[in-house]
Amino acid sequence: MNIANFTLEQLAGQRIMAGFEGTELDSDLKFLIDTLMVGGLILFSGNLSNPEQIKELCSSAQAYAASCGQPPLFIAIDQEGGEVARLKKPFTQFSGNPHMKSEKDAEEFAAIAAKELSGVKINMNMAPVMDVACRSVESVMKGRAFGDNPAWVSKMGVTVIKRLQKSGIMAVAKHFPGIGRTILDSHIDMPFLKVDPEALFAFDLPPFEAAINNGVVGIMLSHILYSGIDREWPASLSTVIAKDLLRVKMGFDGLIMTDDIDMGSIAGRYDIKTIIKRILLADIDLVLVCHKGPWIESAFNEILCSMEQFRSVVEDGRESVVRIMRQKERFLYDIS
């Protein structure tokens, strides 16, 4: 599809990845696709019952998007293995990243996960976790990270990225610039991390650099405020972190996305107008709104309103949608 022909509504909608309730294509899901024109959907346990149902849900959503003249949808899920794995039995159950002992283990996980995701028409995995679990604190990521050594995390994460994407599943490295030092869960409130840039580059960022160098499709931002880099805004709303550091300094030209803006760390502190304004300023491509509610439509309306008012927002929006469509054309236009 030629994005030069996209309406402002399509440009706005492509920037949103939305969660929803239910296990089938109903009126609420159709509204996300035909009216809000969302670029992607994210699935959670409540959307899933068995492989046949999941495949029908994803296939019908894609078919409906096509019937509305919309691009194919990103359909994402958190399937890290271990503590965070939305797909339950009969899908393969893995012990999780901390229990992987070799690149062979990572390769096996990614190969099986890719096959099972592809089999039910899911095309994006919100994995791997590239956070380095700091040994000196009770890291919130202790049960999800590959370990506490940046080189090891890099090696294992890159193995997962390469295998997933070779098998047609888009990988998303998370949670930039790293939450392995934190002990507070951002689902509840915003963690504050006092770390200087030198320490961040030495310990937290190498896995993300490795992911970028190996072509990862997406990078998810954390909801943590890194006071040594940006004293005012968390990473997911920070131009210093998302734009200046990740996009410019580290040279990442893939998809930058927020973590779920419904989390307490963001939704509990900012209104939707402020959130969307910051996301647009920070050159972030995709806004994740993972729960049914007014914020999905409000996010769409705020993006659209900004585009209608400011030419620069339209131009930046087209650049984001170019990046989005680049990955859709690479991974999704042969879906059937």
CB of 46 within 8 A of CB of 19?
no
Contacts of 315 (CB under 8 A, 6+ apart): none
- Residue corresponding to tokens 């797909």: 87
**Catalytic residue (choose from 131, 259, 262, 283):** 259
Tell me which amino acid residue 95 is: S
| Half-sphere CA count of 324, side-chain side, radius 13 A | 30
Q: Backbone phi, then psi, for 324, in 5-degree steps?
A: -60, -50
Q: Which two tokens stand for residue 58?
A: 């994803």
Q: To 10 degrees, what angle do helices 150-166 and 206-213 make?
A: 30
**Catalytic residue (choose from 26, 185, 187, 253):** 187
Coil vs helix vs strand at 290:
coil
Q: Which two tokens stand for residue 209?
A: 């650099």
To the query of whether residue 259 is one of the catalytic residues in this protein, the response is: yes
To the query of whether residue 283 is one of the catalytic residues in this protein, the response is: no
Query: How many residues comprise the chain?
Result: 336
Catalytic positions, written as ranges: 187, 259
